[in-house]
Structure 1
Amino acid sequence: MASGQFKLLGERRFSPFFFTQFLGAFNDNLFKNALVILIAFQGSSWAMTEGGMSANVLVNVAAGLFILPFFLFSATAGQIADKYDKATLMRWIKALEIVIMAGAAVAFALHSLALLMVLLFLMGAQSTLFGPVKYGYLPAHLDNRELTGGNGMVELGTFLAILLGTIAGGQLVHAVGDRTLVIGISVLVFAVLGWLVSLLIPRTAPSAPDLKLNWNPVSETIRIVGYARENRTIFLSIMGISWFWAVGAMYLAQLPNYVRVDLGGDETVVTLLLALFSLGIGIGSMLCDRLSGGRIELGLVPFGAAGLVLFSLHLGFAGVAEHANEVGLSAFLALDGSWRVLADLGLIGLFGGFYIVPLYSLIQERAPRERLSRIIAANSVINALFMVLASLYAVGALQLGLSIPGLFLATAVMTAAVVVFIFTLVPEFTMRFIIWLLVSTVYRVRKRGLENIPEEGGVLLVCNHVSFMDGLILGGSVRRPARFVMYHTIFDVPVLSFIFRTGKAIPIAPAKEDPGRLEAAYDAIARELEDGQVVCLFPEGAITHDGELQAFRQGVERVVQRTPVPVVPMALRGMWGSFFSRKGGAAMKQLPQRFRSRIELIAGSAIAPEQASAAELQRRVQIMLDSGEPCETPVNAHQPAPRA
């Protein structure tokens, strides 16, 4: 699946957008870091002309000026992104960057710190405008199967751009000395390049062209946060993303002093740790597509959160042997314990990528399209608030005497508490994690024909029933969330019951056992299909005892007659003889004989409801079981009758 991600770079719907945002992130960080380093190393001479402020004060003022526009303008930016063509907006925003960077060239030439600070604020405003457009653009041009991979590529590009821009800013200041006009010309050149690339971005239809703009930032911010809160899963996903950015910003802010005081390294060690953290997030973001099989896999969120907590704790206890002060990179790498620090920081980034990409994808998938950019804007506001609070928390903790490793430990404990709280409120994350872990570790699933399942609207899936794991395998493989119809005794199996209930499975009982529950199940199936959901049932009515496909019951016909929707026949191969099947007697009574066994899940072409008789569906499933190939429409009418 990773190759599918990189294929997007060869397509016009993605590539110009990707490189536009890459150049923008690179230029932001080149400009910001160059300015911060100039203040830090030449601040005494520059500050005398600006009222005598110290370099430390100026650095914090610069950080505040860059983040302030996210509070002031995110609400307006979200409205504009929903109302107008996003491709046109990106071109105008990149044109604004050219104007700002032209001003920066003048300010660098004049050594005007006041003008540079104003321009830094304007760069923050330009970034604020770009954020909702960026995340609103992707779901307009990528389908749900591509969202995880596309977001992973964007996050990879963004963090590489941040890393390269930060390094370039520092190296440029070092190289040019007091000839700061060179810095201004450099950022202007990259701004022009970004604008030129943006001309290739394809047009994107506005999602809410009739939206009336509200220019009051306070009332509109309250409104967009209210939009985000309408869906608890979306809002808690935003809170989870914001917590990650707060923790990440806190870590990055402490790196220079952590390296100097606790590790004894110099600036080259800081750069290496920054590179490892950024590359870790980028690689983790990219790997999400492979680990999730091209779907939006919420099970990766608890997996990423666990890694964040574990390696943050490990970093808090890490250290190096006795060292001299401010040793270079090669000397630092020779110290005992140095590689542990490097590994911890890289792995924190890696698991951070696993954590945030599915959350971004979930927001893009589930937010109403006409409000998506405004909900992304709400995410920007909350992100900025969390980062400010994290900065205040770090300053306060360090002022009270807490060491930087102690700060890392305290943050890790707080992260554990936050993610447990979120996962308790949204059990879907935990449910998806259990399914992902079980399916990924116990089996190797080969999937064929899943693109036959419609991306939108109600659809009924029918599949053969071989084991107690069938529902979990289908649920972990089908890209869209599915509601499973299952025998009520299986629905009540301990542990699995949590998954089934959280996944809104529909328990069913035979008429001779509980006719009321049977009718309630049919009503629930109809409601889900009418709401445009995916429903999966096993028409055999029971798990096979002999490994052969059993006769399909007439209940499937009653379902499609009541709610006519497309029906997709599916076949599960390779599960017979597994620990969860009934081969040799009752399931789960003997020791497992296989681990990581290869199984196949095959989906045939969708068929119209009027053709979906029990016999026809049974025949199609049998053909797929025998051939191992998706059953395409039409099927030869002279195929032999299915085996019972």
Structure 2
Amino acid sequence: MSSQFRLVGEKRFGPFFLTQFFGAFNDNVYKNALIILIAFQLGDPSTSNTLINLAAALFILPFFLFSATAGQIADKYEKSRLIRGIKLMEIAIMCMAAVALVTRNITALMALLFLMGAQSSLFGPVKYGILPQHLKPEELVGGNGMVEMGTFVAILVGTLLGGLLIGIDEVGTHWVAGTVVVLACVGYVASRGVPEAEPADAKLRISRNPLAETWANLKFLRSDRTVFLACLGVSWFWFFGAIYLTQLPNYTRLTLGGNEQVVTLLLTLFSLGIGVGSLACEKLSGGKVEIGLVPFGSIGLTVFALDMYFAVGAPVSGELIGAAAFLGQPGAWRVIVDVVLLGAFGGLYIVPLYALIQMRASPAHRSRVIAGNNILNALLMVLSAIVAAGSLAAGLSIPQLFAVTALMNLAVAAFIYGLVPEFLVRFVAWILVHTLYRMKKNGLERIPEEGPAILVCNHVSFVDALVLGGCVRRPVRFVMYHRIFDIPVLSWFFRTVKAIPIAPAKEDEALLAKAMDEIDRELGEGNLVCVFPEGGLTADGQIGEFKGGVARILERRAVPVVPMALSGLWGSFFSRARGAAMGSLPRRFWSRIHLDVGTPVAPEQATADGLREAVAALRHRP
């Protein structure tokens, strides 16, 4: 994890990090002060519910209106100058906000919230577009984790400060007014150090019709299915999170019986959880984009969001209590644990998705892809405000709304993972590798980052494919014996991950021909195909004879062949070391296993004997 903290001290990341930090800090001083002003200084709860949800919608609406144009601007112009211009805009908006705060003009404060959203919508494509230009691919997860951690620490501090300042009797709005102007100026000073980032497409013509460009942006976003569905996953997170965070003040007041101190405490703990989860991504993913963490995060979101419904009793009445008194209430610590873990699993969910979008998006269109993502985010967040306001108006309590949203999250997660089996495979593989084994990987960078290739590996156990799938960063199509492929229940999983069933010619010649056609089609589409040339599990721990299947594949399509070797799985529960695999209880857990990847072999040199020797040499490497 030291690698990601190191970035803060470097010019290519540090000034940008501080600029983003102070921007998020300032936004949340203002927004939390305004929400608490509405929630606790307007006597009618129904009015405050409406105004709070309207405030959420007003801040998000500009992301839908202006993100497409903002993405074009970010791709066309040099990004450090754009950042400084956007920060000057923030200073102007906050000066107007200071006047509105001092005069307690709610209408003006709501209008300025819309302008803050407009300024943030311009910054979004620049923020996520500049990271891949200044960071190495292996630093993207750490950099995104730092940005998310910094953002939510800023939310934490800003939320805390905004709540404390607005609570000062009589002069609270004056303190908030001065603070937001000072923070805007500090953010501009930090932006002066952001290094240049060349425009992605200086010849790009900016559309004068933002609505037409918004539609074109969404159509372009759909051209890459994985990126598009990752954007949908990010947008759903903001729908989910917006419902919880927007309702938290009234949830605290009406259900927990807490005052402003309790709201601030819960928002602070949620932000700490997000920060911890975001930073943990770097360690859990080994510095790579690990989408297996996404299902893990979504499961945690559902579990702890649903528990917030069961953690409280009937709505309270009477005098509101402070943070110290709240901590002494029955069930208070259960709510606190739910809030912290909700944030932590949110960090595990969102950071890999952002990194995946940045990594998979075309550099020439990256900012517009980010803008398209922001448009989807805005649509879902505005929808969340509408759904929340409508549900509460229809008679649902806030805890009931939380429970419904948690169940919706479960349904949406199942839908997305069904559409993108890569997420499911990575999740199962990640769980396997990190619970049963200690994995050491060498030479993964030798696997081509794009284009077709055949992976060949020795076959030691029934989990070899899962282990390989959890280590190789690209999706892999595994060729497997058809009788294993057809096992009930497991067959659904194998079909979902697009495994290719195969049979020997003497057993089913038609299926063999079909498998060869399918392998050729996958390679033709630029995918990785993994073959276990021994044709079955080893019975003695040694590498058996390599069959001629790889040569037949290469006759139809000449592609590189990458030798790989697994070590340490012989003797495991899934191997045949004690007779039939899985025939007895497991005797060891968290064993050390190795995956070694060799130099790709040219297709004309890829003979069965030569590949076996290459795999054997890797397997016996000291």
Q: How does 1:550-561 map to 2 (within 5 A)?
A: 550-557=544-551, 559=553
Q: After TM superposition, give the deviation of residue 56 of structure 1 in Å.
A: 8.0
Q: Tell me the distance in 1 between the aligned counterparts of 2:252 and 2:54.
A: 24
Equivalent position of 2:538 in the other structure: 544
Counterpart for residue 4 of structure 2: 5
Aligned partners of 2:332, 2:39: CA distance in 1, in Å?
27
For the 8 Å contact 1:540–1:553, the answer to whether it is kept is yes
Q: CA deviation at 1:564?
A: 4.6
CA distance 1:91–1:516, change in 2 (3 Å): farther
Match of 1:275 in 2: 268
Q: 1:70 maps to what in 2? A: 63
Change (3 A) 1:462 1:263: same
SS at structure 2 position matched to 1:446:
strand
Q: In 2, Cα distance between the equivalents of 1:64 and 1:515?
A: 61
- Consecutive unaligned residues of structure 2, counting only runs of 5 or more, are none
Instruction: Please give the TM-score of this superposition, normalised by the length of structure 2.
Output: 0.89
Which residue number in structure 2 is paired with residue 353 of structure 1? 347
Taking a change above 3 Å as real, the CA distance of residues 315 and 33 of structure 1, as seen in their structure-2 partners, is: closer
CA, structure 1 residues 514+399, in 2 after alignment: closer, same or farther (shift >3 Å)? Answer: closer
Residue 619 (structure 1) aligned with residue 613 (structure 2): yes
> What secondary structure is seen at the aligned counterpart in 2 of 1:627?
coil
> Is 1:226 the equivalent of 2:202?
no
Which letter does structure 1 place at the counterpart of 2:455? L
- Do the aligned partners of 1:280 and 1:350 also contact (CA within 8 Å) in 2? yes
2:11 and 2:195 in contact (8 A); partners too: yes
Give the counterpart of 1:432 among 409, 426, 431: 426
2:208 corresponds to: 215
Give the match for residue 294 of structure 1.
287
Aligned to 1:631: none
How far 1:562 moved relative to its partner? 5.4
Question: Aligned residues: percent identity?
Answer: 58
Q: Which residue identity is paired with 1:482? A: V
The 8 Å contact of residues 522 and 529 in structure 2, kept in 1 or not, is answered as yes
Question: What CA deviation, in whole Å up to 9, does each residue of 1:519-576 have, x standing for no partner?
Answer: 5444444444454333322233332111112233444355456545444322111111
Report the Cα distance in structure 1 between the residues aligned to 2:472 and 2:5, rounded to whole angstroms. Answer: 23
Once the two structures are superposed, what CA deviation does each residue of 1:151-181 show, in whole Å capped at 9, x if it has no partner? 2222211111112122222334456954966
Alignment of 1:77-92 (within 5 A): 77-92=70-85
| CA distance in structure 2 between the aligned counterparts of 1:145 and 1:493, rounded to whole angstroms | 38
Cα pair 1:320 1:335 within 8 Å, conserved:
no
Q: Which moved more, 1:271-280 or 1:615-624?
A: 615-624
2:154 to 134, 150, 161: 161
The alpha carbon displacement at 1:93 in A equals: 2.0
Residues matched between the structures, number: 618
Displacement of 1:150:
2.8
1:454 correspondence with 2:448? yes
User: Which sits farther off after the overlay, 577-586 or 194-203?
Assistant: 194-203
Structure 1, residues 218-273: CA drift from partner, whole Å, max 9, x if none? Answer: 22222222223344444443333323222222222222222222222222111111
One-letter identity of the residue aligned with 1:452: R
Taking a change above 3 Å as real, the CA distance of residues 585 and 109 of structure 1, as seen in their structure-2 partners, is closer
Which one is further off, 463-472 or 581-590?
Answer: 581-590
1:5–1:504 distance in 2 versus 1, CA, 3 Å: farther
SS of the residue corresponding to residue 620 of structure 2 reads helix
Higher mean C-alpha deviation, range 86-95 or range 217-226: 86-95
Q: For residues 402 and 40 of structure 2, what CA distance do their matches in structure 1 show? A: 28
| CA offset digits 1:38-95 (Å, max 9, x no partner) | 6778899xxxxxxxxx988876665444333222211211222233333332233223
Q: 1:141 to 1:543 in 2, by over 3 A?
A: farther
Q: Give the whole-Å Cα distance in 2 for the aligned partners of 1:39 and 1:316.
A: 25
SS at structure 1 position matched to 2:28: helix
Classify 1:394/1:109 alpha carbon distance in 2 versus 1 (closer, same or farther; 3 Å): closer
Q: For 1:194 and 1:602, how far apart are their aligned partners in 2?
A: 47
**Pair 331,509 (structure 1): closer, same or farther in 2 beyond 3 Å:** same
C-alpha distance in 2 between matches for 1:125 and 1:323: 39
Q: Where does residue 638 of structure 1 map in the other structure? A: none
Contact residue 431 and residue 498 of structure 1 kept, 8 A: no
Q: Bigger shift: 558-567 or 444-453?
A: 558-567
Question: CA separation in 2, counterparts of 1:496 and 1:55?
Answer: 52
Shift of the alpha carbon at 1:472?
Answer: 0.9
SS of 2:581's partner is coil
Q: Secondary structure at the match of 1:207?
A: coil
Give the conservation status (yes or no) of the 8 Å contact 2:275–2:344.
Answer: yes
2:22 is matched with 23
- 3-state SS of the aligned residue for 2:153? helix
Higher relative contact order (CA 8 A, sep 6+): 2
Aligned to 1:472: 466
For residues 316-395 of structure 1, the aligned pairs below 5 Å read 316-319=309-312, 325-395=319-389
> CA separation of 1:204/1:488 partners in 2, compared to 1, >3 Å: closer, same or farther?
farther
Give the Å deviation of 1:101.
3.6
State the Cα distance separating 1:183 from its structure 2 match: 4.5
Go from structure 1 to structure 2 and tell me whether the alpha carbon gap of 1:117 and 1:269 turns closer, same or farther (over 3 Å shift).
closer
* 2:590 is the alignment partner of 1:596: yes
Greater shift, 12-21 or 523-532, is seen at: 523-532
Q: Distance in 2 between matches of 1:380 and 1:187?
A: 25
What code does the residue aligned with 1:94 have?
Answer: K
Q: 1:106 and 1:364 mapped to 2: Cα distance?
A: 39
Give distance in 2, aligned partners of 1:143 and 1:232.
24
Aligned counterpart for 1:575 among listed residues 564, 569, 576: 569
Q: Quick check: 2:57–2:381 contact (8 Å CA) kept in 1?
A: no
Q: Does 1:139 align with 2:138?
A: no
SS at 1:9 equivalent? helix
Cα displacement (A) at 1:142: 4.2
Deviations 1:283-324 (A, max 9, x none): 222223333333333333332222222222211011269897
The 1-side partners of 2:121 and 2:456 are apart by 47
Q: Where do 1:193-272 residues align within 5 Å? A: 193-272=186-265
